[in-house]
C-alpha cells in the first residue's frame, strides 16, 4: 500500500495550458506539503496545509494554487504554464510535530514545451 501517492508521474504540456497534480496520503498525517525540485536537484517548500488550512505559502507565483479537500488530499493546480515551471514536484506528508519525519511521493516530472 503506497503511503503517499501522487499522479501523474510524468506530465508534458504546452506553454499556456492549465494542469493539476493530485496527491493522497494514507498515513493519517495532519500536514501535507508541496516541494519543488529544480534541475540542480535543489528542493524548496512551496505550500503546506495542516488539517485543510494553509500554513505555508512561500514566494510562489499566483498561477500556482493548492487545494486540500480533506486532510488526506492535497492537489496542486497550475495556470498558464511557463517554461520555467518545468521541474519535479514532490508531495509529502507528516505530523505537525518537531520530530515527525516526512514521507514523500514519487514525484511528478513536469515538462513545459
Least distance between other proteins and beta carbon 80 (Å): 26
Within the chain, strands assigned E span 4-7, 10-13, 19-25, 31-37, 43-50, 53-57, 64-70, 73-78, 87-94, 103-104, 108-112
Number of residues that bind other proteins (CB under 8 A): 30
Q: Does 8 bind other proteins (CB under 8 A)?
A: no
- Minimum CB separation of residue 87 from other proteins in Å reads 14
Q: Cell numbers of 38, please?
A: 529544480
Site string for other proteins, 31-70 (x = CB under 8 A): x-x-x----xxxxxx--x-x----xx--------------
Please name which of 49, 34, 48, 28 lies closest in space to residue 85, comparing C-alpha atoms.
Answer: 34
Nearest approach, Cβ of residue 86 and other proteins (Å): 16
* Least distance from other proteins to the Cβ atom of residue 16, Å: 28
Distance CA 71, CA 76 (A): 14
Among 71, 74, 105, 110, binds other proteins (CB under 8 A): 105
Amino acid at each position: 500500500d503506497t503511503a503517499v501517492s501522487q499522479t501523474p508521474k510524468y506530465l508534458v504540456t504546452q506553454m499556456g495550458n492549465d494542469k493539476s497534480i493530485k496527491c493522497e496520503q494514507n498515513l493519517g498525517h495532519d500536514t501535507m506539503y508541496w516541494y519543488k525540485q529544480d534541475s540542480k536537484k535543489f528542493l524548496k517548500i512551496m505550500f503546506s496545509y495542516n488539517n485543510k488550512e494553509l500554513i505555508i505559502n512561500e514566494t510562489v507565483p499566483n498561477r500556482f494554487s493548492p487545494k486540500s479537500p480533506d486532510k488526506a488530499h492535497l492537489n496542486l493546480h497550475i495556470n498558464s504554464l511557463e517554461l520555467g515551471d518545468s521541474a519535479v514536484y514532490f508531495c509529502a506528508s507528516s505530523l505537525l510535530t518537531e520530530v515527525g519525519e516526512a514521507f514523500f511521493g514519487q514525484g511528478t516530472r513536469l515538462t513545459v514545451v
